[in-house]
Amino acid sequence: MTRGDFEREFKRLYLPLGMYALRIVDAADVAEDLVQNAFMKAWQNVEAGQDFDSFKGYMYRVVRNECISFLRQRREVVGLDEVPELSDETVDTSQRDARVWKAIDELPERCREVFLLSKHDGLSNEEIAEELGISKKTVKNQMTKAFSRLREALSDGHKPFFLPFL
């Protein structure tokens, strides 16, 4: 694996691995640190000449092990049955979550703010309007714009989507 290959894999896998780690450790900053540690270990192995049958599979295993080690260091009782197994469904879920958050991050700033206050924080349109000092109609317009852009960004041509984890 060349440096360029590794950089491409890093860009492709970083966010999905972060979403996977977040599901295990339930803390975004910790999940990010664990994924970064996993990539550092992987790079050391690449430099040492290790060959990977599936780099993606290898990275998911390393991140899973990093998460388990972190939880054990915090002296939390961790049974392996509590940590998601590495299955196609787990990988697909983390990749879907990454696509959703990337699409949300690409919304215009005000639109993203309104959307997250509604869907992530659970505020009503009235509460959002009051908090941001805008009209309820503006909140509705921003939500319509957000859903339209997210639908466009996340659709695979014709498949509908929903945001199950917000």
At 26 the pLDDT is 80
At 89 the pLDDT is 67
Decide: residue 5, CB within 10 A, 0-12 exposed, 13-18 middle, 19+ buried. Answer: exposed
25 token code pair: 């450790």
82 token code pair: 């509590």
pLDDT along the chain (166 residues), means of 10: 89 87 85 93 90 88 89 66 62 73 82 83 85 89 85 62 46
pTM comes to: 0.55
At 19 the pLDDT is 83
How is 122-158 classified by DSSP, letter by letter? ---HHHHHHHHT--HHHHHHHHHHHHHHHHHHH--SS
Domains of the chain: which residue ranges? 1-102, 106-166
The CATH code belonging to domain 106-166 is: 1.10.10.10
How far is Cα 71 from Cα 28, in angstroms, rounded to an integer? 14
